[in-house]
Amino acid sequence: MDDQVIFAARAAVLTDLEARGLASPVSVSILDDACSERRWWLEQWAEGAQFVPGLIAQDVQEALADGLGRTDPAGLWPVCRHCTEGPVHTLHIDPDLGGPDPVWVCEETGTTIAPLGRLTAND
Ligand SMILES: [Zn+2]
């Protein structure tokens, strides 16, 4: 069991939330919960390491959407700044399996925006 996988995944998700000004006590607490659950998951299936960062990001997105604001994800989760028209929409992690090589994609167009951990304020 390599905790580095979990640490690196946590850092990647947190970096991206911080890049968008979305790292709050609530989102960080949700992130920590997701990391402990995926740590357990990884203990059962060590080969799953390449999927862990993307899965943790998806866990956090789901928890935020379910508990805090399905109607208005903006302000909680990175939104797409690539599209200049239409309603505000969020980014999500592709592939759905969480990896390998998870990237942020626009929910509406499927456009790849940035690798997980490399999102910027302007992407
Ligand atoms: Zn978009």
Residue where the block lists tokens 């390449």? 50
Per the listing, tokens 């862990």 go with 52
Encoded amino acid at 21, one letter:
G
Judge whether residue 34 has pLDDT over 60.
Answer: yes
Spatial separation of the C-alpha atoms in residues 109 and 13, rounded to whole Å: 22
Cα–ligand 1 centroid distance for 114 (angstroms): 12
Tally of CB atoms within 10 A around 93? 22
Q: How far is the centre of ligand 1, averaged over its atoms, from the C-alpha of 111 (Å)?
A: 7
What's the pLDDT tens digit per position in 4-33?
A: 999 999 999 999 999 999 999 989 999 999
- Provide, rounded to the nearest whole percent, the portion of the chain with pLDDT above 90: 75
Residue 1's pLDDT is what?
62
How much distance in Å is there from the Cα of 23 to the middle of ligand 1?
21
**What pLDDT sits at residue 72?**
59
pLDDT tens, residue by residue, 42-100? 999 989 999 999 999 999 999 987 765 555 556 789 999 999 888 888 999 999 999 99
Please give the structure tokens belonging to residue 120. Answer: 């910027």
CA of 110 relative to ligand 1 center, distance in Å: 8
Cα 72 to middle of ligand 1, angstroms: 15
List C-alpha distances in Å: 81 to 11, 101, 114, 121.
Answer: 22, 21, 12, 9
**What does the pLDDT average to over 90-112?**
95
Q: Is the pLDDT of residue 2 over 90?
A: no
